[in-house]
Amino acid sequence: MKFTIEKNVLLENLNNTIKAISNKNVIPILNGIKFELTNKGLELTGSDSELTIKTFIDKKEITNIEKEGVVIIQSKYILDIIRKMPSDLINFELVDNVRIKIYTDNNQYSLNCLDAKEYPNVKLEENKYPITINGDVLKSIINQTAFAISNQELRPLLTGLNIKITGDVLECIATDSYRLSKKTIKLNNPVENDINIVIPGRNIIELEKIITDDEIVEIHIFSNKILFKYKNLIFQSNLLSGTYPNTTNLIPTEFEIKSTVNLNTYFDAVDRASLLTQGKDKNIVIMKIENNNMTINSYASEIGKVEEKLVVNSSENASINISFSSKYMLDALKVFKSENVNILLNNDVKPIILKSEDDDSLIELILPIKTY
């Protein structure tokens, strides 16, 4: 294997494939990136066996292909090495099949390699009729929901993102059982068979980072895995097995109280109210609505207390006193883009629902906390 490539071309692709490599990996060969050079171009593969990312750099983008070959390069230092190279053009040369020389005129790294024969053969499958979705739409629905994914391994399914498709309606749901985030979009084309899958949280968050624009993403779904195609990149993740809890009944549809608040004003008030309970487990704040007057309180016995007052726009005879985790509230508020947000309530033990004023497609649910 011998070739010359531009620093930025390699860096961009390497940056994406390396996202598949987990630092919890126990299989040594999977700490490496597979470089496979043919006269068609250079294929880079990273995998932690549950997630595989492959990118292909076309020969047109490679300055010089002198000799084909395949090798596994340790991933630990490769990004830094390439990033710090003093020249825009970088040469690669495999020596004796055990060392890769990465060099420019005045400097040279010589890295121990692993044998490509030992690299697992990950099967990347495609459907005949994939689902298609714009990159920026996909990025946005991951952004608006994935933060609510649980990081508690106790309920493994909740550590994933639930995707449900019925006809041309796609629902994306995440919950850690204290809060829930749900986004609904319309697909360009309906699917024939209903889909209900759970993608591991870590993987979907890596996908979000890779998508940078509105180019079409192809989605190929199988019983135990999902494959995304985006530009010159293939991203394949396993699916979590089991049936995601049915969350439809958790979300109330009728409400006693509706208060419309300015998003930024409300965010800042909750943020300030939560200051004194920072670092505490639940950092609880208490929200009181009395017609168009809202107060947000919080109290930490050893430090002091805080009270925020807001003028809101409430439904008639609105009156409630409800406590919640300010962290969960701030997380949920961050994903709205509208000027105002509707806070929908029933009583102090029923879920708090947040919706954008003009758009029902995003629902944020936060369970109140009893304080007495």
Give the footprint of a second copy on this chain (CB under 8 A): 74, 76-77, 80-81, 84-86, 99, 106-112, 268-269, 271-272, 275-276, 278, 302-310
Q: Which residue lies nearer to a second copy by CB, 95 or 251?
A: 95
**Residue 159 contacts residue 149 (beta carbons within 8 Å):** yes
Choose among 80, 71, 58, 73: nearest CA to 21: 73
Q: Please check whether residue 283 is in contact with residue 327, taking contact to mean a CB–CB distance below 8 angstroms.
A: yes
Q: In what order do the strands lie in the sheet with 352-356?
A: 195-200, 160-166, 169-175, 179-186, 359-366, 352-356, 340-345, 257-262, 313-314
Which has the closest alpha carbon to 16: 49, 50, 65, 56? 56
Nearer to a second copy, 257 or 276 (CB): 276
Query: How near is the Cβ of 362 to a second copy at its closest, in Å?
Result: 27
Burial 44-55 (b: 16+ CB within 10 A, else e): bbbbbebbbbbb
Closer residue to a second copy in complex, CB, 116/270: 270
Do 255 and 346 meet the contact criterion of CB atoms below 8 Å apart? yes
Judged by phi (left if over 0) then psi (alpha if -120 to 50, else beta), residue 15 lies in alpha
Q: Between the CA of residue 134 and those of 189, 212, 214, what are the distances in Å?
A: 13, 11, 5
Kindly state the smallest distance separating residue 111's Cβ from a second copy, in Å. Answer: 4
Query: How many Cβ atoms are within 10 Å of 334's Cβ, its own excluded?
Result: 14
Tell me whether residue 77 or residue 129 sits nearer to a second copy (CB atom): 77
Closest CB to a second copy among residues 6, 271:
271
Q: What is the DSSP letter of 372?
A: -
Instruction: Closer to a second copy by CB, 23 or 112: give it.
Output: 112
- Burial level of 76, CB count in 10 A (0-12/13-18/19+)? middle
Q: Which is nearer to a second copy, 132 or 278 (CB)?
A: 278
Nearer to a second copy, 99 or 282 (CB): 99
* Closest CB 184 distance from a second copy, rounded Å: 34
* CA distances to 33, 139, 273 from 326, in Å: 42, 26, 8
Nearer to a second copy, 171 or 308 (CB): 308
In angstroms, what is the minimal distance from the CB of 265 to a second copy?
8
Least gap, CB of 320 to a second copy (angstroms): 20
CA–CA gap between residue 323 and residue 284 (Å, rounded): 6
